[in-house]
Amino acid sequence: MAETAPRRAVTSSPARRVATVAVMPEPVLPTTARTLLARTARVQREGRAPALVGGVVRDGALSWSAARGDVPEPHTDVQFRLGSISKTVTAVAVLRLRDEGRLSLDDPLERHLPATPLGDRTIGQLLSHLAGASSESPGEWWERSPGGSLTDLALDRTVVVLGAARRFHYSNLGFGLLGELVARFRGRPWEDVVRTEVLEPLGMTRTTPRPVPPAAQGFAVHPWADVVLPEPEHSAGVMAAAGQLWATLADLASFAAFMLGDTGGVLDRATLEEMRVPAGVDSSAPGWSAYGLGVQVIRLDGRTLVGHGGSMPGFLANVFVDPEEGTGAVALANTTSGLDPLVFGLLADLRAAEPRIVEPWRPDPAPLPLHLLGVWFWGPAPHVLRAVAGGMLHLGPLPGRAGRASRFVRRPDGTWTGLDGYYAGEVLRIAEDHLNLATFVFTRTPYDPEGPVPGGVDERGWR
C-alpha cells in the first residue's frame, strides 16, 4: 500500500493530562518520505511479512507513516499484538506504586506477593531481569496456550535458575509476577490497572488486552515457500503482563512520545530517566545492549536508543526512541520471525536526512563562584570542574584523556549528588582548596602538600 498522511496527532486524555491543542507535527520532507518508504517496502518484501506498518515520531506525534502488504486503511488504526512491549507498560504501573510510596524497588517480592519461590528477589531485580527467574513459566508454552491464575502455574524451585543479581537473564515469568503484584496492590485485574493508569491517560484508547477490529491476523510464514499458517490467539492469564497487549500504530506512536518525555502526569520525568539507566547488561548481544527498568537500552552507531521489542506467535513489534535527537520509530508486523528490525533504520534515515537543529547557546549563570571552576587534580591526574546547562556541574578528565566523569546536581544542604557515570549517587563536597568525592580528594595542584590529601604527601616533594 502507498504511504498516507498521519490520521491523528498524539493527544492527551482529559482524564489525567493537561488539555492541549492537538497540533499536527511538521511532516517529513518529500525526499525523506521516499527514503523511509523505500526502507519499509524493502523490509516487508525481504522479510516476507504479510502486513507491515511503520512510522516515525517527532514533536510528540507521527510525522510520517506507511503500510505495506495486506493492511486496510487507515493503517494507523489497525491493531497488532505488541508482545513484550507490554512489559514496559507493566513497569510503568510498578513505578507508579513506587512513586506513591507504596513499595521500594529494594523490597523483596515476598513482602508484597508471598508464597513464590522468588520471594527473596527484589522488585528492582525483576524489573531489570536480574532476579535469576526462569525465562518462561512452567507448563505448556505460554505464548501459544491459554493461561490461568498464579496458583495454576504451581511454581516451584525449578523457576529459580540463577542467583540474584548475578547476570542478566530475560524472564517472562518475572513480569508475570510483577503484573500480579500490581493487581493485588490495586485490587483490580492487571489489564484494568494499566488501562486506567497508563493507556487512557496517554490517549492510547485503541490498546487492549485482546484484539478489537480492525486487527491483523497473526501468521507464520513457511521458511521455504511463500505460504502462511495462522497462529493462535488467546488470553495469557497471569502471564498477560509479559506480552498480552494489542495496539495500533497511532497508539504505539503515543507511547514513543511518552518515552521521549511527554509523560502527561503518568510518571514523573525523573522516574522516566531512571527507567533508562542500564542495570542488566545482555552480554550475548553483538553490540552494546542493556536493560533498565522495563526498557531496553541499546548503543547503536554512537547513539543511545531506548525502547522495547516484542514478539508473539504471529507478530513482531518495536518502539525505540533517540532521546538526544528527540525522535522515535515504531513498527508492527504480523509474522512470527524473519523480519529485520525496521525502527533502527528509520531512525538512522531520519537523522541523516533531517538532523535535529539544536537550540542556540546562551549565557547561563554559573551555580558556583567562577574561581571554584576549572582544573583540579586527583593525585597527578588533571580534571576539569565546569558548569553545564540546567544548573549542574560536570567533573571529568581533560579532553582526550581517559578517566571517570559524572554530572552533579545540587542538594538542599549545598553538597552535590552524582547523576551518572562512576560517581552516580556519590556526594561531592566543594571547599576553597579541595574537592571531596567518595573519599577521593582533588586539589588545585598535583598532590598539593597544603591540601588534605589522604595518606599525606612526601615532605621532600617532587624530585
> Percentage of the chain with pLDDT > 90?
86
Q: Comparing 147-151, 235-239, 276-280, which segment has the lowest mean pLDDT?
A: 276-280
Residue 276 confidence (pLDDT) above 90: yes
Is the pLDDT score of 433 beyond 60?
Answer: yes
Residue 1 pLDDT greater than 80, yes or no: no
Q: Which 3-state string (H, E, C) describes the chain?
A: CCCECCCCCCCCCCCCCCCCCCCCCCCCCHHHHHHHHHHHHHHHHHHCCCEEEEEEEECCEEEEEEEEECCCCCHHHCEEECCCHHHHHHHHHHHHHHHCCCCCCCCEHHHCCCCCCCCCCEHHHHHCCCCCECCCCCCCCHHHCCCCCHHHHCCCHHHECCCCCCCCCCCHHHHHHHHHHHHHHHCCCHHHHHHHHHHCCCCCCCCECCCCCCECCCEEECCCCCCEEECCCCCCHHHHHHHCCEECHHHHHHHHHHHCCCCCCCCCHHHHHHHHCCCEECCCCCCEEEECCCCEEEEECCEEEEEEEEEECCEEEEEEEECCCCEEEEEEECCCCCCCCHHHHHHHHHHHHCCCCCCCCCCCCCCCCHHHCEEEEECCEEEEEEEECCCEEEEEECCCCCCCCEEEEECCCCCEEECCHHHCCCEEEECCCEEEECCEEEECCCCCCCCCCCCCCCCCCCC
Confidence of residue 294 (pLDDT cuts 50, 70, 90): very high
**Span 361-374, average pLDDT:** 95
pLDDT at 231 exceeding the cut of 80: yes
pLDDT confidence of residue 159? 97
Least confident of 87-101, 286-300, 428-442: 286-300
Predicted local confidence at residue 286, as pLDDT:
62
Of the given ranges (49-58, 271-280, 309-318, 438-447), which has the lowest mean pLDDT? Answer: 271-280
Stretch 307-334: mean pLDDT, rounded? 97
| The predicted structure's pLDDT at residue 235 | 94
Instruction: Give me the mean pLDDT over the 47-52 stretch.
Output: 98
Q: What is the pLDDT of residue 281?
A: 76
Please state which of the ranges 72-81, 130-139, 282-291, 416-425 shows the lowest mean pLDDT. Answer: 282-291
What is the residue-averaged pLDDT of the chain? Answer: 92
- 118 vs 279, more confident: 118
Q: What is the mean pLDDT of residues 43-61?
A: 97
